[in-house]
């Protein structure tokens, strides 16, 4: 389906509600009016963040209007993670990651959403991936930033317990969100997010969400092998994995890419970027997102003109296939994003694509 400019402009309305689910109330912000002929962008934040601190810089960027003028957006916040949230009662058992993913069908039903394009970061990426595995008919596509598909091992669990005793919650969350170099050099960014965690988030609630994330099970996915078992459990929708090259999640994201269907998955590594690419490099993330959506058949090439004309950053592409590597320098970022679009539209191409920009 191609959405043209003339039938896609609407004045967004904003609805803010607490949606009741089997696992507690989740705070949701719905922007725009859902339509039957297109999915809604559904976001889910990472630990220590909410929809504002995780996505506001991305969605307030001028380039994002090229997407949101076509697609309504539903921001979902985990129980107790929204601003001014009251402390969760001691009797409340915080949902597991699996349970949080199973809370999402209630959100879709509440707002009358038929399908979504998921945009998640860290814990939110894991939750959306689990949701897509269990409800593939509800998910058209996924953009997953900093996803870690693995469960915490025994040594990781021990290290986490020791860290709990020796470090503040703020230090733990900062180390989860940002790379070591970023923490040491980008003092303004780190100070901003440390202040956000300390002053706008309920500390007890954050700790509950963080414990739930660190107790996650492994994401049950396996790469289909040509000539082997092609009916393995995997994500069935087009998927874009995004990670900054200084993110603490680099190895985890690469591992996730190795486990997914190479005909439906693109890995985008972003240079000069750490743990929150959607905050530090929003224009590049938006461009990748837009070409990803176009690759799914939802945007016409004509509607890309304004975004393309504003893109002047440089990039390089690395495409890996069957042990060979081809590197080509490009002077325009849109060349790399064209490759994202082409990779997602042509599922007959059996290559797994890795882009670096």
Domains belonging to the chain, first-starting first, are: 14-296 (3.40.50.1820)
Task: Categorize the per-residue pLDDT at 35 as very low, low, confident or very high, splitting at 50, 70 and 90.
Answer: confident
Are 174 and 190 spatial neighbours (Cβ–Cβ below 8 Å)?
yes
The percentage of the chain sitting over the pLDDT mark of 70, rounded to a whole number, equals 75
Residue 108, pLDDT > 90, answer yes
Phi and psi angles of residue 39, each rounded to the nearest 5 degrees, phi first: -75, 170
Least confident stretch, 74-78, 215-219, 314-318 = 314-318
pLDDT attached to residue 226: 73
DSSP state of 7: G
**What is the structure's pLDDT at 3?**
47
Residue 5 clears pLDDT 60, i.e. is over it: no
Residue 36 pLDDT level (bands cut at 50, 70, 90)? confident
- Span 83-93, pLDDT tens digits: 999 999 999 99
* Position 328 pLDDT exceeds 60: no
- pLDDT, residue 30, reads 96
Q: Is the pLDDT of residue 47 over 80?
A: yes
Q: How would DSSP label each residue in 261-311?
A: -TTTEEEEEESS--S-HHHHSHHHHHHHHHHHHHHTT-B-GGGGHHHHHT-
**Confidence check: pLDDT of 229 > 90:** no
Q: Is the pLDDT assigned to residue 6 strictly greater than 70?
A: no
What mean pLDDT do residues 181-204 have?
A: 95
**Angle of CA points 250, 173, 282, to nearest 5°:** 55
Predicted local distance difference test score (pLDDT) of residue 248? 95
- Segment 12-22, tens digit of pLDDT: 788 999 999 99
Dihedral class, residue 289 (left if φ above 0, else alpha if ψ from -120 to 50, else beta) = alpha
pLDDT for position 231? 72
User: What distance in Å separates the CA atoms of residue 141 and residue 41, rounded to the nearest whole number?
Assistant: 9
Q: Rounded to an integer, what distance in angstroms lies between the CA atom of residue 85 and that of residue 82? A: 6
Looking at residue 351, its pLDDT comes to: 41
């Amino acid at each position: 389906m191609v959405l043209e400019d003339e039938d896609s402009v609407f004045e967004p309305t904003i609805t803010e509600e607490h949606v009741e689910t089997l696992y507690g109330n989740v705070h949701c912000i719905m922007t725009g009016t859902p339509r039957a002929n297109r999915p809604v962008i559904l976001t889910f934040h990472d630990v220590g963040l909410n929809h504002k601190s995780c996505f506001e810089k991305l969605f307030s960027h001028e380039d994002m209007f090229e997407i949101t003028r076509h697609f309504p957006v539903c921001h979902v916040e985990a129980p107790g993670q929204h601003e001014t949230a009251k402390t969760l009662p001691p009797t409340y058992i915080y949902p597991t990651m699996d349970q949080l993913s199973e809370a999402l069908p209630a959100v879709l039903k509440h707002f009358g959403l038929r399908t979504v394009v998921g945009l998640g970061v860290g814990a939110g990426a894991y939750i959306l991936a689990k949701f897509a595995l269990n409800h593939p008919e509800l998910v058209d596509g996924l953009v997953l930033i900093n996803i870690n598909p693995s469960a915490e091992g025994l040594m990781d669990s021990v290290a986490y317990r020791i860290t709990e005793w020796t470090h503040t919650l703020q230090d733990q969350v900062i180390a989860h969100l940002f790379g070591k170099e970023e923490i040491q050099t980008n003092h303004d960014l780190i100070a901003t997010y440390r202040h956000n965690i300390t002053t706008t988030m309920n500390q007890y609630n954050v700790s509950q969400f963080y414990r739930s994330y660190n107790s996650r099970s492994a994401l049950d996915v396996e790469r289909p092998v040509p000539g082997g078992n092609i009916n393995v459990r995997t994500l069935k929708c087009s998927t874009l994995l995004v990670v900054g090259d200084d993110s603490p999640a680099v190895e985890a994201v690469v591992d996730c890419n190795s486990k997914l269907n190479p005909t439906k998955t693109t890995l985008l590594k972003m240079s000069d970027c750490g743990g929150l690419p959607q905050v530090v490099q929003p224009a590049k993330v938006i461009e990748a997102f837009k070409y990803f959506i176009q690759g799914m058949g939802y945007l016409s090439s004509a509607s890309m003109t304004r975004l393309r004309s504003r893109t002047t950053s440089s990039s390089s592409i690395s495409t890996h296939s069957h042990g060979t590597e081809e590197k080509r320098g490009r002077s325009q970022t849109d060349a790399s994003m064209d490759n994202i679009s082409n990779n997602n539209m042509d599922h007959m191409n059996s290559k797994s694509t890795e882009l670096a920009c």
